[in-house]
Amino acid sequence: QVQLVESGGGLVQAGGSLRLSCAASGGTFSTYYMGWFRQGPGKEREFVAHITRSGASTYYADSVKGRFTISRDNAKNTAYLQMNSLKPEDTAVYYCAADLSWTILPDKFDYWGQGTQVTVSS
């Protein structure tokens, strides 16, 4: 099993950037597929981005394509979400998640971090 801790959230103006980090411990990081999800006020948790174990393939929600980049550094046991051109609609709690199988469905991810707040002001 693996434990996940997100960091890097904060307040940023529209058009700005943030980089979120997800530090993993307690498992073999390179064996996990990683995903980022978010949950805005009054909304369901939604998929944001996904990356395979080696980092060779990525997948994004349409709402963030071209603006967000998911990456991972297996030597540092860390996944990242680089968020550029942020919009007020991106305001949410952002969660990282891990699973041993490929999926982008939140209900299928076995391991979750506690989340980090991202607030984008207009």
Tokens read off for 93:
């709690």
Decide: 47 and 37 in contact? Cβ < 8 Å.
yes
Alpha-carbon distance of 94 to 81, in angstroms, equals 10
Residue-level pLDDT at 115: 98
The average pLDDT across 72-89 equals 98
Handedness of CA 66, 48, 52, 75 (dihedral sign): positive
Tokens read off for 78:
């860390």
pLDDT (tens digit, 9 = 90+) per residue, 111-122?
A: 999 999 999 999
Coil, helix or strand at residue 30: helix
Residue 4 has pLDDT above 90, yes or no: yes
Q: 104: pLDDT confidence band, cut at 50, 70 and 90?
A: confident
The average pLDDT across 70-89 equals 98
Coil, helix or strand at residue 66: coil
Residue 86 has pLDDT above 90, yes or no: yes
Residue-level pLDDT at 62: 98
pLDDT (tens digit, 9 = 90+) per residue, 5-63?
A: 999 999 999 999 999 999 999 989 999 999 999 999 999 999 999 999 999 999 999 99
Q: Rg for the chain (alpha carbons), in Å?
A: 13
Q: Mean pLDDT in the chain?
A: 96
